[in-house]
Amino acid sequence: MSRVERKEKEKKEKKHPIYRYILIATIFLIIFSGIIIVDEAVRSMLMTEEPKAFGYKKIDATIHQIYFCGQKIYIDEIEVRGQYLQWKADVQDLWKQLKDLTGRLIVDHL
């Protein structure tokens, strides 16, 4: 194998998508950890108890509090489950209608 062929093969291997995914995941991990480290350092120097950049706290059995960029977001499990069940029923209904429609189309063409 010549030097040119070897270099072309190495270049093709570098373009493999798995390397890109690993690189992107590593970059996000570095950025995320950097934000957390800087946030902790600033809050400890200023001795403030402001909401964190990222955080999670369970308030009671069904309510969760998420901190994101200083904003507090409250999530109620009961509402989430109710919405999930509604969407699940809608998707199942749509799926049933699609099956009926495709069944009728197949029968009509026979």
How many angstroms separate the CA atoms of 73 and 107, rounded? 51
Regarding pTM above 0.75, the answer is no
Note the pLDDT of residue 102. 81
Note the pLDDT of residue 8. 82
How many angstroms separate the CA atoms of 40 and 33, rounded? 11
Note the pLDDT of residue 109. 64
Note the pLDDT of residue 4. 79
| pLDDT tens per residue, range 46-68 | 887 776 778 888 999 889 998 88
- Sheet of 54-58, strand order: 54-58, 63-68, 71-76
Q: Which portions of the chain are predicted below pLDDT 70? A: 1, 51, 107-110
